[in-house]
Copies of this chain bind each other. A is one copy, B any other.
Amino acid sequence: MTIPLHADDFIVPGFRVATGYCGLRSEARPDLLLVAMDAPCRVAGLFTRNQVVAAPVTLCRERLGLGAARALLVNAGNANACTGIQGMADAKQLTQAVAQLLNVADEQVFPSSTGVIGVPLAVAKPLAALPSLLQNLQAGGWERAARAIMTTDTTIKVERLTIDIDGVPVRLVGIAKGSGMIHPNMATMLAYLFTDATIDAPVLQQLLQQAVDQSFHCISVDGDTSTNDTVMAFASAQAPHPAIVTTAAPQAHLLQQTMVEICQRLAQSIVRDGEGATKFITITVSGADSRQEARQIALSVARSALVKTAFFGQDANWGRIVAAVGYAGVAFDANQLDIDLGHVRIVEKGGRARDYDDRDGSNVMMQHDIPIHIHLHQGQESCTVWSCDFSYDYVRINADYRT
């Protein structure tokens, strides 16, 4: 099976897509996405761990337990977070209107919002736009879908793959948006997977958890975790392969690999499009006692403002990397620490590598994509994290975002 060149032509049976502009954004570009499902879909989701949670996230969490989805409605331009009782009423009113138009139950409609926090949602605007959205529903359209949920993103994030399960082609498409407040636990990040796989909801939830753990939980743009983070997966069961009812099945394993692949590509796209980013940094920590400790160290480096500004300055200031490894809160023997910048060993046994020449380090720093490998030599576990630099543009974008 070949994958169409244009993501808008990639059809996942069971899903129809419409986008539109309702005026929640100040610019006249799409700010609404509706994905309607022909029949009840299995649904899985992971949400922000922030103590402050946007109304739509609360609704999604509640509705996840009921196990069936018929629609996803996403708006950009307003996060509907810190909007109190009215915010919850607005989110409910919106999903109720979708439910009535589609003739499904309220609880089968999943809402998401992204944009400014703390400003009441002008709910009349999306309400007025819903009827025309419904008329525009069509198969495919994933690029438009990805474009409608963008905020400060400069590129659309869409990935799709087709796999073969027991001789049956199964499609997966994923869309996502970044690009500020990006740190594990998903930040102001929205991502949605759609597949026609036939799979039980609890299995889908476990596969999604594992895919997120290896992708969206391994990226950091600015260390901020938002109130609206959402990753959801919808499965329409339109592909006529035997149902996947356990994670132990080889079919589950194949599907999981595919979900990991799509989620990693989306997560990396988010980092590449990080606000003001000029560098894409891949940080691998190996030789740790646990994957969790490896990730903690990698994220400490990923988050360091001094490391990020050094990368922006193309300065192989490895001392800042060593310092960030050291303050991650993980115990290790500093005299065993080795660090490679690309193929250049810069730190050896905790100090400057004997044969290290600053020019070699500088050459690596001139690249756009920069790998760092941190060897702890303590245990057998490792983790890879993706990050970007801190530039003048990061400051400009975030100092000016609302004004």
Contacts and interface: CB of A to CB of B under 8 A. Distances in A.
Contacts of A185: 327
A327 B395 contact: no
B51 A327 contact: yes
Contacts of A324: 224
Contacts of A349: 84
Given A223-B304, A306-B180, A351-B87, A319 B51 contact: no
A265 interface: no
A351 B306 contact: no
A38 B174 CA distance: 72
Given A82-B351, A403-B313, A337 B398 contact: no
Contacts of A392: 392, 395-396
| Max chain B Cβ within 10 angstroms of own Cβ: one of A53, A120, A225, A337 | A225
A350 B312 contact: no
Interface string A332-348: 10100100000000010
Contact of A181 (B49, B181, B306, B395): B306
A296 to B, nearest CB: 12
A303 B225 CA distance: 12
Interface residues of A, number: 69
Contacts of A312: 395, 399
A49 B225 contact: no
A306 B117 contact: no
A66 interface: no
A394 B310 CA distance: 11
* Identical subunits present: 2
A209 interface: no
Contacts of A318: 117-118
Given A319-B117, A395-B312, A82 B350 contact: yes
A390 interface: yes
Interface in A130-175: none
Given A117-B317, A395-B395, 14 more contacts: A50-B326, A52-B325, A52-B326, A81-B323, A84-B349, A84-B352, A118-B347, A118-B352, A224-B327, A226-B327, A305-B305, A312-B395, A312-B399, A390-B395
30 contacts: A48-B327, A50-B326, A51-B334, A52-B323, A52-B350, A81-B319, A81-B322, A82-B350, A84-B351, A116-B317, A117-B317, A117-B320, A118-B318, A118-B352, A119-B352, A181-B306, A223-B305, A224-B306, A224-B320, A224-B327, A225-B326, A225-B327, A226-B323, A227-B319, A305-B390, A306-B398, A312-B399, A313-B400, A391-B395, A392-B396
